[in-house]
Structure 1
Amino acid sequence: MSFFVNAVGVPLSYSGTSNHWFSAPGAGPDLYGSAGNDSFYGAGNLNVTMHGGTGDDIYYLYGAGNKVAEGAGAGIDTISTWMSYKLPANVENLIVTNPNNYAFGNGLDNIITAKAGHQTLDGGAGNDVLIDGGGGYDTFVISKGNGSDLIANFAATDAVRLNGYGFTSFDAVHSHLIQAGSNVLLNLGSGEILEFKDTTVDKLQPNQFELPIDLSGMKLSFSDDFNTLNLHNAQGGTWDTNFSWGAPNGSTLTSNGELQWYIDANYGPTSSIHPFSVNNGVLTITAAQAPADIKPLINNYEYTSGILNTHSTFSQTYGYFEMRADLPENAGAWPAFWLLPADGSWPPELDVIETRGQDPNSLIMTAHSNETGTHTKVTSMVNTMDTAGFHTYGLLWTPDKLVWTYDGVQVAEAATPSDMHKPMYMLADLAVGGLAGAPPDHLATPAEMKIDYIRAYTLDNAPASALHTATSTATHSIASSTLHGGSEFGGHA
C-alpha cells in the first residue's frame, strides 16, 4: 500500500488494490460489499447507498443520488467522482476529476486530489494532503484551526486562500516562510503550518496568495446594524421596499423568470404581509407562499418576499461595500446583495453576492457592463466549504479594479469597466425562482435571509496598498462561464 507523509510526519495511505467489484445498476436502494478490498460503481440516474466492509473500498460516483456509507476504522476508503463533492464521515480520500468543481474533506486526515481544470480544495479539519493533479489552476483553502496541511504539485498558476491568520500582505507571508530541505514551510501560528512540497521560497509569488482586505484608512460612509428597520417614506427613513420603477403595489423582475412579488411596505392593501422582521439586531427577509386572498393584489404571483434598497437615500462612487448575512438554503431561493447606478441606467451592475439555496457552497459574483456597446459580464464562481450561519460578503470597487471578498478575504477580481465610474446604490433581496429554479416543495418551509449589517466605506484615505491589491484572483477566480443564462437583476433597462 502506497502512502503520502503529511505536514506533521504521519503517513497517510492510499486505498489498496481491489479484489471484488460491485455495480449499482439493478442492485436496489442499497449495495453491500465484502469484508475485503472492494470497488463500487454507481450510476448517474440511480439513488443508491453503497456500503463498504472492513477492507479498503473505492467508490466511483456518477450522480447526486449515489451515496456512501462507511464505518469508523473500516479500512482506507476513497471516493472518485466528476462532481463537486464533500467527503462523508469515515472516508479518508477523495479524487475529483472534472473542472470547475470543489473537493472538500471531513474531520479525518485526508488525501484530496484535483484532476482536470480549475478546482477548489479544502481539507477541512485534520492534517490533510492536498494535491494538484494537473490540467489546470487550483485554489487551496486553508483556515485557522483546521490543522496543518501539505500541498503537493503547487503550480505557478495555483493559489492559496488563507482564512483567519491575520496576514494582510505577501511581505507578512514571506517573513513566515522557511526552507526545510526540498520543501517550504509557512508558519501559520498556534502550532499550525502549511507545507509546500518540492519547491523553494523564491518560487512563491504574491499572486499565489488570497489574503484579507485592508480596511485601514477607509472611512465608514453608511452603516445599518438593524436594531430597527428604518423604512423610507414621505417623512424620511433609509430603505425603500420597492424598485424605483416599481408599481404602487410592489414589483418583481419578470425578465429573470422570478416567481416572487416584492411587497411594498407603503402599500396598504397588502399590509397584512410582513416580509421584514427584526429580532436581536438581525433583519430577516422572508419568502413564502402567497395567501390566496393576497394573490389578486400582487398580480397573482405564487410567492411574496422583500427587497431593500437605498435608491432614495444613499449612493456612492467607489468604495468597499459589505453585508454580513446568513443566507437561506431552501431549493429555489435566490438571495442577493448588489449595486445599481443611481441615474437609473443599466448596465452597469455589480453583484456582490448571489447564491442558489440548493447550492450554498457556490458563491456567484458578477460585474455587468455596457462598455463595448452591448451587455457583457464577468462572473466568478467561488466555492467554499463553510456556509452555515453568518458570513460577510464584500466588494472593493476602485477606479481600476473590482475585488470581491468572503469573510474579509479576497476571493475574486476583475478590471473595473469603463462605464462603472458613477454613483451606485445598494440593494438586498430574496428572490424565488429565476437562477435558482422553481422551489420543488413550493416553499413549504419559508426561506429566510438574515442580515446582521450592511456597511459602505469610502476610499478617500485608504493607503495605496489597499487599492492595488496583489492577489491571484485576476487569473484564478474569474470564470469564463456566465451563470445568469441571459437574464440579470438589472434587466429592467
Structure 2
Amino acid sequence: MIYNWNGNSQLQLHDYGISTAAQLRSIMSQQGNDVVFSFANGEKLILRDEQLSTIEDRQFLLPLDTSKLGAITFQDEFNSLQIRDFSLDTGIWRTDFGGNLKDQWAYTLVSNGEVQAYVQPGFQGRGEADLDINPFSISDGVLTITARPIPDEQSYAAYGREYSSGMLNTFGIFEQKHGYFEIRAEMPTAAGALAGLLDDDQSVRAEHRGGHLRGPGDHAGHRLPPRARRGRHPVRRRAEARSRRHAHLRHAVDPGDGDLLL
C-alpha cells in the first residue's frame, strides 16, 4: 500500500519480470478510489486515493534497455590484474594517483584524512626498499582487495599511515563523460570502510578502491581501531563501458565482489 502518491513519486520493481511501461499498464486497474497493480504471482500493490489517468510513464523506473546502448568502450573480466606500464603502453589500471611517486598524495587522499595508503606490488613509499605488500589477489574472475594494518617498522615508509589497501583507477588511461556505468561488487561491512563507484568533477573514472579508511570527523565512516580486523573485498568479473560519446571512467570499490560495467 502506498499513500500520498504524487507527481514526483516514482515506482521501481525488482524481480517481477516487467521491463516496459506497457507491461505495467496491463496489470493496472482503477478500483474505486485506488489504483491497483495485480501481479502474476498473486501480489497486489495499491496506490491509495489515486487516479489511473494521473500516473505518467516517466514515474516508472524501468530496467535499462541495453540494446539502445552503443558498443562497450571499457571492460575488465578480472582474469588477471592489468596494471598499467606506461613505458610499454600496456595495462588498463593504475594503482596510484600519479604525479610525484615519492609524495604521499600519489597514494592517499590527504585532504580526506584517510588512514590508509593505496599500495601495489613493489610499493616503496618514501623509502628505498620494497615493503612487500600486495593488496590484490584474483581467483576465478574475482578480484579481491585486502586492507591490512601496516607494521610499525614500515609506517614511516608508508607516510605514517596505519593501514595498507588497494585502489585501481584509469587516470591518464581511459575517460568517458557520458554513458552507462555498472559495477558488481560485494561491499565491506567493517566500520570505516567506504565503497562505491566514484567520479570526479567533470567525468566518471573507473577507480577501484579497497579498504578506503577515513579518520575521525569523516561523515562517511568511522576510524578503524588499531590492528583492526583486515577487510577483504572481492570484485567480480567484468568492468564494461558502453556509450555513444567520449569516455572517462572511474571504477571505485572498497574490497568488494563485483564487475564494473560502463
TM-score bin, normalised by smaller chain:
0.7 to 0.9
Q: Does 1:457 align with 2:242?
A: yes
1:255 equivalent among 98, 102, 111: 111
Match of 1:428 in 2: 208
**Alpha-carbon distance in 2 for matches of 1:339, 1:440:** 25
Counterpart contact for 1:163–1:211, Cα < 8 Å:
no
* Deviation string, structure 1 residues 180-217 (Cα, Å, up to 9, x no partner): 23322213333332222222211222343222222113
Give secondary structure in 2 for the equivalent of 1:171.
Answer: helix
SS in 2 for 1:160: coil
Alignment correspondent of 2:5: 154
| 1:242 aligned partner, one-letter code | D
**Counterpart position of 2:63:** 212
CA–CA distance in structure 2, aligned partners of residues 193 and 449 of structure 1: 38
Residues 1:244 and 2:29 aligned together:
no
TM-score, normalised to structure 2, is: 0.78
Rounded to whole Å, the distance in 2 between the matches of 1:188 and 1:248 is 60
Amino acid at match of 1:167: I
**Shift of residue 291 of structure 1?**
1.4
1:113-262 matches, within 5 Å, as 150-218=1-69, 219-233=71-85, 234-235=87-88, 236-245=90-99, 247-248=101-102, 251-262=107-118
Asked if 1:339 corresponds to 2:199, the answer is yes
Over 3 Å counting, the alpha-carbon distance change for 1:270 and 1:193 in structure 2 is farther
Amino acid paired to 1:278: I
Give 1:253 shift: 0.7
Confirm or deny: 8 A CA contact 1:285 1:450 kept in the other structure: yes
* TM-superposed deviation, 1:245: 2.5
Shift of 1:329: 0.8
Where does structure 2 lack aligned partners over 5 or more consecutive residues?
Answer: 246-262
- Normalized per residue, which structure has more strand? 1
Aligned residue number for residue 283 of structure 1: 143
- Deviation, 1:302, is 0.7
Q: The residue matched to 1:152 in structure 2 has which SS?
A: coil
Aligned: 1:322 with 2:106: no
Given that residues 289 and 446 in structure 1 are in contact (C-alpha distance below 8 angstroms), is that contact kept between their aligned partners in structure 2? yes
Corresponding residue for residue 255 of structure 2: none
Deviations 1:54-113 (A, max 9, x none): xxxxxxxxxxxxxxxxxxxxxxxxxxxxxxxxxxxxxxxxxxxxxxxxxxxxxxxxxxxx
Structure 1's 339 and 245: CA in aligned 2 closer, same or farther, altered over 3 A?
A: farther
Partners in 1 of 2:240 and 2:77 — Cα distance?
8
Aligned twin of 1:31: none
Alignment correspondent of 1:406: none
C-alpha displacement at 1:242, in angstroms? 0.7
The residue identity in structure 2 corresponding to 1:158 is S
- The answer to whether the Cα contact below 8 Å between 2:75 and 2:241 also exists between their aligned partners in 1 is yes
Residues 177 and 203 in structure 2, CA contact (< 8 A), matched pair in contact too = no
Q: What is the one-letter code of the residue matched to 1:336?
A: G
Structure 2 Cα separation of the partners of residues 204 and 326 of structure 1: 36
Aligned partners of 1:153 and 1:443: how far apart in 2?
49
Name the SS of the counterpart of 1:339 in structure 2: coil
SS of residue matched to 1:296 = coil
Alignment of structure 1 residues 259-270 onto 2, 5 Å? 259-267=115-123, 269-270=129-130
The 3 A distance-change label for structure 1 pair 348 and 314 is closer
Q: Which runs of 5+ in 1 are unaligned?
A: 1-149, 341-346, 351-424, 461-493
Distance in 1 (CA, whole Å) between partners of 2:167 and 2:235 is: 12
Distance 1:271 1:320 in 2: 38
State the partner residue of 1:303.
Answer: 163
Does the 8 Å contact 1:263/1:270 carry over to 2?
no
Q: TM-score scaled by structure 1?
A: 0.43
- In structure 2, relative to structure 1, the CA distance for the partners of 1:440 and 1:248 (3 Å cut) is closer
* Larger RCO, structure (CA 8 Å, separation 6 or more): 2
Rg larger in structure: 1
Aligned partners of 2:177 and 2:202 also within 8 Å: no
Query: Helix, strand or coil: the match of 2:182?
Result: strand
AA aligned opposite 1:322 = E
CA offsets, 1:325-377, max 9 Å, x none? 0010111111232234xxxxxx3355xxxxxxxxxxxxxxxxxxxxxxxxxxx
Contact 1:241 1:309 in 2 (8 A): yes
Q: Equivalent pairs: percent with the same residue?
A: 31
Range that drifts further, 234-243 or 170-179: 170-179
Asked whether the 8 Å contact 1:337–1:429 carries over to 2, the reply is no
Root-mean-square deviation over aligned CA pairs: 2.3
Aligned length: 231
Alpha-carbon spacing, 1:428–1:435, altered in 2? closer, same or farther (3 Å): farther
CA contact (8 A) 1:335 1:449 kept: no
**Closer, same or farther: CA 168–227 of 1 in aligned 2, 3 Å:** same
Inter-partner Cα distance in structure 1 for 2:130 and 2:197: 25
* CA separation of 1:348 and 1:326: change in aligned 2, threshold 3 A: same
